[in-house]
Amino acid sequence: MEKIIINTADSFSEIHVGTAWETVHEMLPHSGVAILTDTNVMELYGARFPDFPVLRITPGEESKKLEVVEMLAAKLMKAGIDRDGFILGIGGGVVCDLAGFLASIYMRGIRCAYVSTSLLSQVDASTGGKNGVNLEDAKNALGSFKQPEFVICDPLMLTTLPEEEYFSGLAELIKTGIIGDPELFEIIGSNQEGIANRDPELLSMCISKAVNFKAAVVTADEKETGLRRLLNFGHTYGHAIEMYHSYRHGYAVSCGMEMASAFSMERGLISRDDHKRITDVLKSHGLLPGHDIPDNQVAQLLMKDKKKSGKDIFFVFLKGIGNAVAEKIAVKEAADFYIHNKPGTKQI
């Protein structure tokens, strides 16, 4: 078990990795709490939830929209949750995003915390305070920064995840290793069986390393004005692939990481061997489905990325495994690279 602290100018957050999720009963206020979850998590764990009102959503990205937020806010009001209230999100990335976003705007801001039930939310969505909802097909176009007071990451909860969702979360673990922790990358690459079998001790160690890295980044740059941009490695192409193919987030980001690694290699920033190591690890875990966005749609999809600035975009390149850098480039340059190097067009 490990407790990791995120301490920014405006907030203080504790991430508990390897802690049994039921300890949440001891960490909540005695009153004024509402629980947000989805129907899948409710069916699996609802009988052991703390005794507070429960708000349920439909699982999946379709729930990340303003109409759902409005519905949830109305239910909070009906439940008597006021400015001293507290929202506990129990679920994966969608639940954590909605809980944080709702907590940031309801009554101009109330307290919140998460029990993260998916690997993606344990290593990414629940840590760092970024949350939001989608606007049409633009991911997280509406959002805010709201640090949860605490997050519980219980690796035993990952045993109930569907296989695709589990491996989708693994992509974010691999991403962390690639951009900032070569040891984590090596652990994942050399423990394929333990990862596949969801070994709780191995996962606790990997999640702790990922959260420690992200906590250091967020503490230094909470509002993503510099260093935190590195966490978007693979996401520029990944979000475009996700929008076009409707892949799960981690699979799309994995494809984006493969392309960003190739882009870095073309610029002479990483070796062919490093590019192959990255691609081999992603392939070994089944994380590289085919993706072929039509040429006339690539730039249009990239322009919907939140990291866009006018006709430019902050793109994350590699300078080696464990070393990333964000550079502002033209959206056209990123689109042209994808068009000429996507799978099936050229042997990289």
What is the tens place of the pLDDT at every residue in 160-179?
999 999 999 999 999 999 99
User: Do residues 218 and 129 touch, judged by C-beta distance below 8 A?
Assistant: yes
- Model confidence at 245, in pLDDT bands (50, 70, 90)? very high
- Model confidence at 347, in pLDDT bands (50, 70, 90)? very low
User: Do residues 334 and 256 touch, judged by C-beta distance below 8 A?
Assistant: no
Asked whether the predicted pLDDT for residue 254 surpasses 70, the reply is yes
**What's the pLDDT at 128?**
74
User: What domains does the chain contain, in order, with CATH numbers?
Assistant: 2-160 (3.40.50.1970), 163-341 (1.20.1090.10)
Asked whether the predicted pLDDT for residue 115 surpasses 60, the reply is yes
**What's the pLDDT at 345?**
54
| Mean local confidence (pLDDT), 75-104 | 96
**What's the pLDDT at 348?**
41
Residue whose token pair is 């999946």: 60
Q: How far is CA 35 from CA 17, 88, 93, 110, 112, in A?
A: 21, 5, 15, 13, 10
**What's the pLDDT at 222?**
72
CA–CA separation, 211 and 222 (whole Å): 14
**What's the pLDDT at 332?**
96
Which long-range CB contacts under 8 A does 136-143 form with residues at least 24 apart? 137/243, 137/304, 138/304, 138/306, 139/239, 139/242, 139/243, 139/304, 139/306, 140/64, 140/97, 140/306, 141/304, 141/306, 142/66, 142/101, 143/97, 143/101
Asked whether the predicted pLDDT for residue 11 surpasses 90, the reply is no
- Model confidence at 136, in pLDDT bands (50, 70, 90)? confident
Asked whether the predicted pLDDT for residue 308 surpasses 80, the reply is no
**What's the pLDDT at 310?**
82
* pTM: predicted TM-score of the whole model, two decimal places: 0.89
**What's the pLDDT at 346?**
47
DSSP 128: S
Asked whether the predicted pLDDT for residue 338 surpasses 70, the reply is yes
- Segments in 123-190 forming alpha helices (H): 163-180, 182-190
**What's the pLDDT at 125?**
67
In tens, the pLDDT along 119-130 reads 999 998 667 778
In tens, the pLDDT along 23-64 reads 999 999 999 999 999 999 999 999 999 999 999 999 988 999
Percent of the chain past pLDDT 70, that is, above it, reads 97
Q: What is the mean pLDDT of the chain?
A: 93
CA–CA separation, 348 and 341 (whole Å): 7
Asked whether the predicted pLDDT for residue 103 surpasses 60, the reply is yes
* Residues β-bridged to residue 317: 325
